[in-house]
């Protein structure tokens, strides 16, 4: 799929709402990034973007990035140390499979929203909001592109 077609098919408002909803249930941070160019290794590219977006600087190391490279028809999900250690490898595989199913069906926004929602579920379990304690939104919720 062409990147411009992919970007045109995305409902940014729906994705941002899903991010805000996921973060409202936890102390975690979720970002979505779309790469405009081809990517040979989506995991490596996602790790670089994770750093570039400052996601390693969250207080509890509980940020998660859903990275999409439509030109290469690939994606990756990268979780920081705090969330990665708590979820285990099966969670990440199941999450990727759910997103991939929607992507293969051309339902790009649905796939991203489903992924973000599942990330929010995991963050709410492992990093629940503390009653009576304000949570700081450490990272912006918008979809980023390069």
DSSP 8-state symbol, 6: H
Ordered structural domains, the chain, with CATH: 3-129 (3.10.310.50)
Entry pTM: 0.91
Answer yes or no: is pLDDT of 139 > 90. no
Beta strand 29-34 pairing with 63-69 = parallel
- pLDDT, one tens digit per residue, over 20-57 is 999 999 999 999 999 989 999 999 999 999 999 999 99
pLDDT higher than threshold 60 for residue 1: no
Please determine, for residue 124, whether its predicted confidence score (pLDDT) is greater than 60: yes
> Does the pLDDT of residue 4 top 70, yes or no?
no
Q: What pLDDT is recorded for position 132?
A: 67
Residue pLDDT, tens place only, 57-102: 999 999 999 999 998 889 999 999 999 999 988 999 999 999 999 9
Residue 18 φ/ψ, nearest 5 degrees: -65, -40
How many angstroms separate the CA atoms of 48 and 31, rounded? Answer: 14
Closest residue by Cα to residue 97 from 114, 72, 78: 114
CA dist 21 → 24, 36, 60, 116 (Å) = 5, 26, 19, 9
């Amino acid at each position: 799929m062409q990147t411009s077609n992919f970007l045109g098919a995305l409902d940014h408002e729906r994705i941002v709402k899903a991010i805000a909803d996921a973060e409202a249930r936890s102390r975690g941070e979720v970002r979505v990034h779309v790469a405009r160019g081809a990517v040979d290794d989506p995991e490596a590219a996602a790790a670089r973007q994770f750093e570039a977006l400052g996601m390693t600087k969250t207080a509890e190391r509980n940020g998660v990035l859903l990275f999409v490279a439509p030109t290469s028809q690939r994606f990756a999900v990268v979780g920081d140390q705090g969330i990665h250690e708590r979820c285990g490898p099966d969670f990440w595989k199941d999450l990727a499979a759910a997103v991939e199913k929607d992507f293969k069906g051309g339902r790009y926004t649905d796939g991203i929203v489903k992924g973000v929602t599942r990330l929010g579920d995991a963050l709410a379990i492992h990093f629940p909001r503390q009653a009576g304690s304000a949570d700081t939104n450490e990272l912006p919720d918008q979809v980023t592109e390069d």
